[in-house]
Structure 1
């Protein structure tokens, strides 16, 4: 009776993600939208999505973070979330009086096919006599990518929604990507020292890292005003950190049309704003690329303070070289962060043996080889890795240190090796949101941390101990 039964084809073994080295797309979008002045993000989906995002951001930034939800129920899942969407808008506008409302989709709302842009159009038509806030939407289902996809989709959506054509100005657009609040402040100092007017998007340096309040503020001060985003189309140039920006194909999945361009490339194509795209400026080589671009755009020579910062950094490389040369490091996190950090470690003589990310662009290996031309082929660069993949690899290969966020702490603890906490998220230390990474001064702080961590490890494991190097 089974003679004509079809022969089953063998399939490739597949291991499910067990502890993802990435986060959800609406989380990244929420961070970016918190960098727009007066903005309240709304997560169009289940209540749990917004709760998870609030909890995660509060743990890292140590600040109150309001993220609204359209609060899907079973009924909305079956019949559509339009009514929930309108209720969420009414509640947020009535309670917060925001300048901007940002609607981010989730896996659930995207899967059932909710047309959020149509909902926004209908809402504006129904309330055209009201003084509505600005509204922007972002398509951010997590099955389409990581938190970095969501972050960059939010930035691109804001630019595509609000940027206008105009007479060419002298200001510059800076799209810094996902860096720390202290990095954002440092970048603003640098641009000001070059005498450049700028539009930084996003700018959550105050909204997610506030001074002490006398009374609670529903919407924190700070962020990039819509009026400034409108001028992005008339800027003299754009600087965009990141060479991947998670725009690659996702293992054969179809990308949404809205993700076809970054904010800076959109401005270049639509308004002729020259795009200076580069890796995150971590290390001497990559910071030089950034400062050279500023010199070209501004027509001014690098200010003396930064020449001295650069000189002190190179001097410290020489001072610390004997303590770190040849040590083996594992780097993990977002793709563009991993590329820049790997380039920096390679520059100071540390051997990056594994560069791992949950991102799915497929471009990590080629980008690392580009920026680490001497050792790039010896670095194992892995897209779509999770922390258990990292764990298993490290058990076999025994690195000397970890460089990345706090989520790999349990692996470093088991192997009894140092972990240099940087990037996002850092949930087990105070000040994770203020760690500097970029520029010569940010690199200096990172270099000192790396060297001292290795010295401390050697000192603690010495049979006799020592008080002098």
Structure 2
């Protein structure tokens, strides 16, 4: 007999300020700073390092018992002063934790006081504040809050230009590099925010850097208000919470809102938008990538058609992956997320169609205990999501295809492609090969030829 749950068991999401720290890491010469306890900074730093395999410093105002009672104004100001002296950053990205939000610290007011006190100091960094309590939202909410706060702090209206802003959502460094390559091949001046393609996936250093090279330049962020448009990936991201939405309402920069471009159909939409914005056809190399992908669909269809999958992760990733799976003949019998936007089912319906007719369950606000119970009943052929589902995969003996964040139990998670024809090709190959490997392993005699 199963009893009603009274608490989350192994959440299918991460904490709000983690996403903000990741976004701040994609700004040039920026130090992420948590207004809260040292434990929060240690947890987030260790969690990010495990996925990206790069050194990550996250400063903290170091709350203690006294601070929790009387407020963290002194700690925040002292912490900002120390970070400025030790790191000499251009930007400090400040995210609040549950503790500082719960006691009601007026962070905006504290920062106003601090700016007045340091107004005469040369080289004072730009201070960006994002409100990110984990009891309201998940890591993806913190990510978007940090992006919007960065634009609010830095964007300035200037002379109109022909550039485009790209807000790619929380994707891999490999995806960021691919997006920049596409924009460059279109010869379209652009700003990607955030851009942690180097700061979280760089080369070896001859000497230690307190702040790794790379990231979106503050000057480029300032010019974002003069762009011809902003492309923003994310099905559930509402304009009222998005960076592109703020630029549109404040400066009139058109917002082009697309799902993550995974699969042929959604990648086509992205490339068609770029063709419209720059008024030129896509480079031939992307036509070739598309043709190879169509050919791969035809070649691999016989191996995967009719297979079923349990799919979990951030809502936007789940929605786009579900549409891609239906495109290749795989049926997601469960689409699950710890997110609570309230939009997941409707957005899935827009991309996939009749969810009930497709036999697709949609669950939001769930944890891995819920997902494991559903998986036990559904018995899918595949499980697709981050490495937090490994225990479920091992227990059920159903193969796990790792995508997204975090990937802690495999090497190279930061170099996985998901987006565009190229990312779709890699995902498709991995899915097909996982099915083939399962057939080989289940065979009594085995075989070495397809």
TM-score category (smaller protein): over 0.9
1:226 aligns with 2:224: no
- Counterpart CA distance in 2 for 1:458 and 1:77 is 57
Aligned to 1:408: 389
Aligned to 1:460: 441
CA distance in 1, matches of 2:140, 2:354: 29
TM-score, length basis structure 1:
0.94
Superposition deviation, residue 260 in structure 1: 3.5
Shift in alpha-carbon separation, 1:351–1:190, aligned structure 2, 3 A: same
Q: Give the CA deviation at 1:415.
A: 1.3
The reply on whether 1:451 has 2:442 as its aligned counterpart is no
1:197 offset after TM fit, Å? 0.4
Q: Give the 4+ runs in structure 1 shifted more than 3 A.
A: 12-15, 374-377
Tell me if 1:57 matches 2:57: no
After the TM superposition, which residues 253-268 of structure 1 pair with which residues of structure 2 at under 5 Å, given as runs? 260-268=240-248
Note the C-alpha offset of 1:376: 6.2
Answer yes or no: is 1:440 the counterpart of 2:421.
yes
1:16 Cα shift? 1.6
Which one of the candidate residues 309, 312, 323 is aligned to 1:332? Answer: 312
Q: Which residue of 1 aligns with 2:71?
A: 80
Cα offset, 1:261, TM superposition: 2.9
The alignment status of 1:122 with 2:102, answered yes or no, reads: no
2:36 to 45, 51, 71: 45
RMSD, aligned α-carbons: 1.2
Q: Whole-Å Cα distance in 2 between the matches of residues 445 and 32 of structure 1?
A: 25
Give the 5 Å matches for 1:129-148: 129-131=120-122, 132-148=124-140
Structure 1 unaligned regions, length at least 5: 1-11, 248-258
- 3-state SS, counterpart of residue 236 of structure 2: coil
Q: Residue by residue, what CA displacement relative to the aligned partner does 1:162-219 show, whole Å, maximum 9, x if unpaired? A: 1111221100000000000000000000001111000110000000111011111110
Determine the structure 1 residue equivalent to 2:269: 289
Q: Which residue of 2 aligns with 1:91?
A: 82
Is the contact between residue 370 and residue 376 of structure 1 (CA under 8 Å) also seen in structure 2? no
CA distance in 1, matches of 2:444, 2:309: 24
Structure-2-length-normalised TM-score: 0.98
Whether 1:426 and 2:417 are equivalent positions in the alignment is no
What residue number does 2:176 align with?
A: 184
- The one-character-per-residue Cα deviations of 1:433-463 (angstroms, maximum 9, x if unpaired) are 1100000011000100000011001011101
| Aligned 8 A contact 1:21 1:333 in 2 | yes
Partners of 2:133 and 2:409 in 1: CA distance = 28
Give the drift of 1:14.
5.2
Partner of residue 196, structure 2 = 204
Q: Alignment partner for residue 150 of structure 1, among 117, 142, 148?
A: 142
Give CA deviations for 1:242-282 in whole Å, capped at 9, x if unaligned: 0213x5xxxxxxxxxxx933100111111111111000000
C-alpha distance in 2, partners of 1:74/1:415?
44
The whole-number CA distance in structure 2 between the counterparts of 1:176 and 1:299 is: 22
Aligned residue for 1:315? 295
Query: Which residue of 358, 369, 375 corresponds with 1:388?
Result: 369
1: CA distance between counterparts of 2:416 and 2:10? 25
Residue of 159, 165, 172 corresponding to 1:167: 159
Q: Secondary structure at the match of 1:15?
A: coil
Give the Cα–Cα distance (whole angstroms) in 2 for the partners of residues 60 and 28 of structure 1: 13
